Amino acid sequence: MASVTIALSMSLVARIVGLVRNPPEQLFASNDINAYTLVVAFLFTFLLTTGFIMMVCQRLYYDLKVAANTDVLTHLLNRRAMMHQLEIAMNQFYRSDRTFAIILIDVDFFKRVNDVYGHDGGDMVLIHLAQILQTKMRKADSASRWGGEEFLILLPDTTLDQAHELAERLRSYVETNPTPSNIQITISLGIAVIRQHGNSVESLITAADHALYAAKKNGRNLVAIAN
Protein backbone atom coordinates (compact mmCIF):
# COMPACT_ATOMS: atom_id res chain seq x y z
CA MET A 1 0.00 0.00 0.00
CA ALA A 2 2.78 2.42 0.86
CA SER A 3 4.58 1.70 -2.43
CA VAL A 4 1.36 2.31 -4.40
CA THR A 5 0.84 5.62 -2.60
CA ILE A 6 4.39 6.72 -3.36
CA ALA A 7 4.07 5.69 -7.02
CA LEU A 8 0.80 7.57 -7.48
CA SER A 9 2.16 10.66 -5.77
CA MET A 10 5.34 10.65 -7.86
CA SER A 11 3.36 10.12 -11.05
CA LEU A 12 1.07 13.04 -10.25
CA VAL A 13 3.98 15.31 -9.34
CA ALA A 14 5.80 14.35 -12.55
CA ARG A 15 2.77 15.23 -14.63
CA ILE A 16 2.36 18.57 -12.91
CA VAL A 17 6.06 19.38 -13.40
CA GLY A 18 5.82 18.36 -17.05
CA LEU A 19 2.84 20.60 -17.62
CA VAL A 20 4.54 23.53 -15.94
CA ARG A 21 7.74 23.12 -17.99
CA ASN A 22 5.91 22.58 -21.30
CA PRO A 23 2.45 24.00 -20.81
CA PRO A 24 -0.14 23.97 -23.56
CA GLU A 25 -1.47 27.39 -24.46
CA GLN A 26 -4.70 26.89 -22.55
CA LEU A 27 -3.07 25.69 -19.28
CA PHE A 28 -2.83 29.12 -17.68
CA ALA A 29 -6.00 30.44 -19.19
CA SER A 30 -8.19 32.05 -16.59
CA ASN A 31 -11.20 29.77 -16.47
CA ASP A 32 -13.11 27.60 -14.02
CA ILE A 33 -11.87 24.30 -15.48
CA ASN A 34 -8.21 25.07 -14.84
CA ALA A 35 -8.94 26.30 -11.32
CA TYR A 36 -10.97 23.17 -10.58
CA THR A 37 -8.22 20.92 -11.99
CA LEU A 38 -5.52 22.52 -9.85
CA VAL A 39 -7.64 22.27 -6.71
CA VAL A 40 -8.38 18.59 -7.36
CA ALA A 41 -4.70 17.87 -8.04
CA PHE A 42 -3.68 19.61 -4.83
CA LEU A 43 -6.29 17.80 -2.74
CA PHE A 44 -5.39 14.45 -4.27
CA THR A 45 -1.70 14.94 -3.51
CA PHE A 46 -2.48 16.15 0.01
CA LEU A 47 -4.71 13.15 0.78
CA LEU A 48 -2.19 10.66 -0.59
CA THR A 49 0.63 12.23 1.39
CA THR A 50 -1.45 12.35 4.58
CA GLY A 51 -2.49 8.73 4.16
CA PHE A 52 1.10 7.66 3.64
CA ILE A 53 2.28 9.53 6.74
CA MET A 54 -0.50 7.94 8.81
CA MET A 55 0.50 4.46 7.61
CA VAL A 56 4.14 5.10 8.46
CA CYS A 57 3.21 6.37 11.93
CA GLN A 58 0.93 3.40 12.55
CA ARG A 59 3.66 0.97 11.51
CA LEU A 60 6.22 2.78 13.67
CA TYR A 61 3.87 2.64 16.67
CA TYR A 62 3.36 -1.10 16.16
CA ASP A 63 7.10 -1.75 15.85
CA LEU A 64 7.84 0.26 18.99
CA LYS A 65 5.11 -1.57 20.92
CA VAL A 66 6.48 -4.96 19.86
CA ALA A 67 10.03 -3.91 20.76
CA ALA A 68 8.91 -2.72 24.20
CA ASN A 69 7.32 -6.10 24.96
CA THR A 70 9.86 -8.45 23.38
CA ASP A 71 13.17 -9.84 24.58
CA VAL A 72 15.79 -8.85 22.02
CA LEU A 73 17.70 -12.15 22.08
CA THR A 74 14.95 -14.78 22.18
CA HIS A 75 12.03 -12.81 20.68
CA LEU A 76 9.82 -14.08 23.49
CA LEU A 77 7.86 -11.77 25.75
CA ASN A 78 10.05 -9.89 28.20
CA ARG A 79 9.43 -9.86 31.95
CA ARG A 80 7.35 -6.68 31.90
CA ALA A 81 5.07 -8.00 29.17
CA MET A 82 4.63 -11.32 30.96
CA MET A 83 3.72 -9.57 34.20
CA HIS A 84 0.97 -7.81 32.26
CA GLN A 85 -0.27 -11.16 30.91
CA LEU A 86 -0.24 -12.62 34.41
CA GLU A 87 -2.28 -9.71 35.73
CA ILE A 88 -4.83 -10.25 32.95
CA ALA A 89 -5.01 -13.97 33.80
CA MET A 90 -5.48 -13.10 37.48
CA ASN A 91 -8.34 -10.71 36.68
CA GLN A 92 -10.03 -13.39 34.58
CA PHE A 93 -9.64 -15.85 37.44
CA TYR A 94 -11.38 -13.51 39.89
CA ARG A 95 -14.12 -12.53 37.43
CA SER A 96 -14.98 -15.90 35.92
CA ASP A 97 -12.99 -18.45 37.94
CA ARG A 98 -10.81 -19.17 34.90
CA THR A 99 -7.89 -21.22 36.16
CA PHE A 100 -4.30 -21.05 34.93
CA ALA A 101 -0.88 -22.46 35.70
CA ILE A 102 2.68 -21.23 35.35
CA ILE A 103 5.93 -23.08 34.74
CA LEU A 104 9.23 -21.52 35.76
CA ILE A 105 12.21 -22.92 33.84
CA ASP A 106 15.94 -22.66 34.46
CA VAL A 107 18.81 -23.91 32.30
CA ASP A 108 20.95 -26.29 34.36
CA PHE A 109 24.63 -25.39 34.78
CA PHE A 110 24.28 -22.37 32.50
CA LYS A 111 27.42 -20.78 33.90
CA ARG A 112 29.34 -23.86 32.80
CA VAL A 113 27.94 -23.41 29.28
CA ASN A 114 29.23 -19.84 29.21
CA ASP A 115 32.62 -20.92 30.57
CA VAL A 116 33.07 -23.69 27.99
CA TYR A 117 31.41 -22.21 24.90
CA GLY A 118 31.62 -18.50 25.62
CA HIS A 119 28.77 -16.02 25.76
CA ASP A 120 27.91 -16.66 22.11
CA GLY A 121 27.37 -20.30 22.98
CA GLY A 122 25.24 -19.27 25.95
CA ASP A 123 23.14 -17.04 23.71
CA MET A 124 22.64 -19.91 21.27
CA VAL A 125 21.40 -22.10 24.12
CA LEU A 126 18.83 -19.48 25.15
CA ILE A 127 17.67 -19.01 21.56
CA HIS A 128 17.44 -22.79 21.11
CA LEU A 129 15.34 -23.19 24.25
CA ALA A 130 13.08 -20.29 23.26
CA GLN A 131 12.42 -21.93 19.89
CA ILE A 132 11.54 -25.21 21.60
CA LEU A 133 9.08 -23.44 23.88
CA GLN A 134 7.43 -21.72 20.93
CA THR A 135 7.00 -24.95 18.98
CA LYS A 136 5.94 -27.22 21.86
CA MET A 137 3.44 -24.95 23.62
CA ARG A 138 -0.24 -24.66 22.77
CA LYS A 139 -1.41 -21.61 20.84
CA ALA A 140 -3.10 -20.14 23.91
CA ASP A 141 0.07 -20.38 26.02
CA SER A 142 2.58 -17.55 26.44
CA ALA A 143 6.33 -17.84 27.00
CA SER A 144 8.72 -15.22 28.29
CA ARG A 145 12.35 -14.78 29.10
CA TRP A 146 11.99 -14.11 32.79
CA GLY A 147 15.59 -13.09 33.36
CA GLY A 148 19.05 -14.46 32.62
CA GLU A 149 18.63 -18.16 31.87
CA GLU A 150 15.13 -18.34 33.39
CA PHE A 151 11.91 -18.60 31.39
CA LEU A 152 8.29 -18.43 32.50
CA ILE A 153 5.31 -19.98 30.72
CA LEU A 154 1.69 -18.96 31.31
CA LEU A 155 -0.84 -21.74 30.68
CA PRO A 156 -4.48 -20.56 30.59
CA ASP A 157 -7.30 -23.01 31.40
CA THR A 158 -4.80 -25.60 32.59
CA THR A 159 -5.00 -28.11 35.42
CA LEU A 160 -2.05 -29.30 37.48
CA ASP A 161 -1.94 -32.62 35.61
CA GLN A 162 -1.94 -30.87 32.24
CA ALA A 163 0.82 -28.49 33.33
CA HIS A 164 2.88 -31.39 34.64
CA GLU A 165 2.45 -33.29 31.38
CA LEU A 166 3.64 -30.30 29.34
CA ALA A 167 6.58 -29.69 31.68
CA GLU A 168 7.74 -33.30 31.41
CA ARG A 169 7.40 -33.16 27.64
CA LEU A 170 9.54 -30.02 27.50
CA ARG A 171 12.14 -31.43 29.88
CA SER A 172 12.47 -34.65 27.87
CA TYR A 173 12.65 -32.88 24.52
CA VAL A 174 15.35 -30.45 25.65
CA GLU A 175 17.41 -33.30 27.10
CA THR A 176 17.39 -35.24 23.83
CA ASN A 177 17.73 -32.34 21.38
CA PRO A 178 21.01 -30.39 21.58
CA THR A 179 21.53 -27.04 19.90
CA PRO A 180 22.50 -26.90 16.19
CA SER A 181 26.12 -26.50 17.35
CA ASN A 182 25.67 -29.68 19.44
CA ILE A 183 25.60 -28.08 22.90
CA GLN A 184 23.78 -30.50 25.20
CA ILE A 185 21.67 -28.96 27.97
CA THR A 186 19.01 -29.92 30.48
CA ILE A 187 16.41 -27.82 32.26
CA SER A 188 14.71 -27.81 35.65
CA LEU A 189 11.08 -26.78 35.95
CA GLY A 190 8.79 -25.62 38.77
CA ILE A 191 4.99 -25.67 38.47
CA ALA A 192 2.36 -23.66 40.33
CA VAL A 193 -1.40 -23.47 39.75
CA ILE A 194 -3.71 -20.66 40.79
CA ARG A 195 -5.75 -21.33 43.94
CA GLN A 196 -3.83 -24.52 44.73
CA HIS A 197 -0.50 -22.77 45.23
CA GLY A 198 -1.36 -19.08 45.48
CA ASN A 199 -4.08 -16.47 45.06
CA SER A 200 -2.00 -13.62 43.65
CA VAL A 201 0.58 -13.18 40.92
CA GLU A 202 3.33 -12.69 43.48
CA SER A 203 2.43 -15.73 45.59
CA LEU A 204 2.12 -17.93 42.50
CA ILE A 205 5.53 -16.88 41.18
CA THR A 206 7.06 -17.47 44.60
CA ALA A 207 5.51 -20.95 44.74
CA ALA A 208 6.85 -21.82 41.27
CA ASP A 209 10.27 -20.47 42.24
CA HIS A 210 10.35 -22.68 45.35
CA ALA A 211 9.37 -25.68 43.23
CA LEU A 212 12.14 -24.85 40.76
CA TYR A 213 14.63 -24.63 43.61
CA ALA A 214 13.51 -28.07 44.82
CA ALA A 215 14.00 -29.52 41.32
CA LYS A 216 17.55 -28.18 41.17
CA LYS A 217 18.34 -29.24 44.73
CA ASN A 218 17.18 -32.80 44.03
CA GLY A 219 19.53 -33.28 41.08
CA ARG A 220 18.35 -30.99 38.25
CA ASN A 221 16.77 -32.10 34.97
CA LEU A 222 13.57 -32.56 36.98
CA VAL A 223 10.02 -31.24 37.18
CA ALA A 224 8.79 -30.22 40.63
CA ILE A 225 5.35 -29.10 41.80
CA ALA A 226 4.83 -26.34 44.35
CA ASN A 227 3.75 -27.33 47.85
The set of catalytic residues is: 149
Neighbours of 2 (CB within 10 A): 11
Question: Do 198 and 102 form a contact (C-beta atoms < 8 A)?
Answer: no
Radius of gyration (Cα) for the chain, nearest Å? 28
Smallest Cα–Cα separation from 114: which of 127, 129, 124, 128? 124
Strands 187-193 and 223-225: parallel
Smallest Cα–Cα separation from 183: which of 104, 131, 114? 114
